[in-house]
Structure 1
Amino acid sequence: MHTFRPRRRQWMAALAAGIAGAALPALASAPKTAVEVWKDPSCGCCQDWVTHMEQNGFAVTVHETGNAAVRARLGLPTRLGSCHTALAGGYLLEGHVPAADVRKLLQQKPKALGLAVPGMPVGSPGMDGPEYKGRKDPYDVLLVTRNLMNSDVSTRVFTSYR
């Protein structure tokens, strides 16, 4: 009877390892969502946002060319601007948009230009380093839409961080 329990434990451990091992290739092979970013080469907070996105499962390509031209080309007004502009799944991402909101956007697929976090709010991803000593300012992630009749851009709150 004593030999049964250790063998049973060994068998259960081997079974658990086999199940976990079988799941790992599926997770490893899951395609990452591509994100293309335009930023200034010397912007540290932009690089911190890129790291945030990579840590949350996005495959990021960075263009160190600044973002004003691409923002204008994509039709985002400067009043909604920030220090970097990105594209993911056909949507524009302006500024320090949290990865969770990008995932939510890509799942919901609204008719929109994308998401924007105007300015550089402290506490948002990339603006949350140790130099801010835990400070978290309130900010909104805005869903940006364009009226097809007159090309006016409007926003509504997508997520609010307080």
Structure 2
Amino acid sequence: MKPLRVLFAVALFSATSAFAESAPRVEVFKSASCSCCGGWVDHLKANGFEVSTHNIDNVPANRKKLGMPDSVGSCHTAKVGGYVIEGHVPAADIQRLLKEKPKALGLAVPSMPAGSPGMESARPVPYDTLLVDRNGSTRVFASH
């Protein structure tokens, strides 16, 4: 029985280590005073992302530095897997982006739509996640 327990423990440790190594790391840049950003971070963590946050003084300047157009701006900007993520983008959309690997700057959910992750509401509104090209053009990536 002991060898079987050891084998099970090794297999479990290997699977846990593989998941920890493969968990996408998201770096979030946000204002210290914004509470909805924390809700979005919690949403990402609950969906398997490893998240680090940085409170910054000027979110729009950081967005510009990362190449994301102001026209799709929101309250926080993030980086993951070589992409830029703007606003309350659902974790499933980020996971799809990382799987499909399109040639693009990243994803954006402009503004702060009610019902998006971190902006939970009893009165959600329909919204789109946009794929943002490096030239600033956009197209719908997902509708919610």
The two structures have a TM-score, normalised by structure 1, of 0.78
Aligned pairs for 1:2-151 within 5 A: 24-29=12-17, 30=19, 31=21, 32-65=23-56, 66-128=58-120, 132=121, 134-146=122-134
**Paired residue secondary structure (2:32):** coil
Aligned Cα RMSD in Å? Answer: 1.9
Q: 1:56 to 1:143 in 2, by over 3 A?
A: same
Amino acid corresponding to residue 44 of structure 2 in structure 1:
M
Q: State percent identity of aligned pairs.
A: 55
| Superposition deviation, residue 18 in structure 1 | 8.9
Amino acid corresponding to residue 59 of structure 1 in structure 2:
E
State the alpha-carbon separation in 2 of the partners of residues 78 and 70 from structure 1. 11
Whichever of the two has the greater Rg, that structure is 1
State the alpha-carbon separation in 2 of the partners of residues 23 and 100 from structure 1. 28
Q: Where in structure 1 are there 5+ consecutive unaligned residues?
A: 1-14, 147-151
Q: Where in structure 2 are there 5+ consecutive unaligned residues?
A: none
- Structure 1's consecutive aligned runs of 4 or more residues displaced over 6 angstroms after TM superposition are 17-20
